[in-house]
Amino acid sequence: MSVCSSSSSGSWSSTKAWIVHGIVAGVAIAVAIGARVYLGPPKKFRSRVVGIIPARFDSSRFQGKPLVQILGKPMIQRTWERAKLATTLDHVVVATDDEKIRECCRSFGADVIMTSESCRNGTERCSEAIQKLEKKYDIVVNIQGDEPLIEPEIIDGIVKALQEAPDAVFSTAVTSLKLEDAFDPNRVKCVVDNSGYAIYFSRGLIPFNKSGKANPQFPYMLHLGIQSYDTGFLKIYPQLEPTPLQLEEDLEQLKVLENGYKMKVIKVDHEAHGVDAPEDVEKIESLMLQRNLS
């Protein structure tokens, strides 16, 4: 009898665990479904496009990074000037929570939207900024302020990719990963399906083989920070709760995938030249001089 009692008790505990798991999963699914209903399918061609450059002064790795001088101009200005060359953007604005950045941007003619200090990432800052703009837009492009060499063609590429994929709410770009960056956690890797939709992003090497080493013959892909969103989705993005994979990898794109949304990915030929630390400035300046971009 005691054996039967123990088995019954264990079975009930297991059942309770599955019930709790089911409730939690059900809540998560309900949130995702609610967001999907809120967004709904695109009803028309998404033609109106705004580029937003999120910029914050406080950074754990490089405080004041947007204002650092690159060949005589603030980095935020360099990025803004490159973004203005994109043919698909109807407007370009800077979104910041810092007065120094606002004054700097206004000095070279950029429009600025002030956002709150509570924004946890660039996507949330874009979400707040789009709701403060007077004009309505169908697509928002999140342009990383620390890539002063961003190519306008890449901006145009991800915009067109989203316009041509009505089932996607998000688009981004990848390029070839250098073998020496295979295990660098600051170099985010991406894998896509046969139709060009994102499967997963990781700070680790993906795919990972049995040898535990990078395969020099495999075309690993490096994620570039630039991304565009359907405006309707961007408005509900902050309402989605953080997801386990997002929190574990510290990658905001994973929250999009974990909630069942589709993300279009384009492959481009691009040398990633972001400014992550003060020592990167000299490298950027050398590249700009080589390319006559001063």
| Number of domains the chain is built from | 2
pLDDT beyond 60 at 291: yes
Interhelix angle 75-83/99-107, rounded to 10 degrees, is 50
Helix (H) or strand (E) holding 202: strand 198-202
226, pLDDT greater than 70: yes
Does 265 share its domain with 278? yes
Domain that holds residue 9: 1-39
58 plus 152 within the same structural domain = yes
pLDDT at 117: 84
Q: Which residue(s) pair with 200 in the sheet?
A: 191
Q: Are 134 and 184 within one domain?
A: yes
d(CA 115, CA 124): 10
Same domain, 95 and 73: yes
- DSSP letters, 8-22, are HHHHHHHHHHHHHHH
Model pLDDT for residues 56-110, shown as the tens digit of each residue: 887 766 778 899 999 999 999 999 999 999 999 999 999 999 999 999 999 999 9
Whether residue 35 has pLDDT greater than 80: no
Token pair for 147 = 């890539």
Q: What CATH number does the domain containing 47 carry?
A: 3.90.550.10
Higher confidence at residue 9 or residue 255?
Answer: 255
| 254 confidence band (pLDDT: 50, 70, 90) | very high
34 and 99 belong to one structural domain: no
Residue 43: band (very low, low, confident or very high) from pLDDT cuts 50, 70, 90 = low
Mean pLDDT of the chain: 85
Angstrom distance (rounded) from CA 247 to CA 250: 5
In tens, the pLDDT along 119-134 reads: 888 889 999 999 999 8
Same-domain check for residues 34 and 158: no
Residues 136 and 245 in one domain: yes
pTM of the prediction? Answer: 0.81
Judge whether residue 21 has pLDDT over 80.
no
Residue 44 above 80 pLDDT? Answer: no
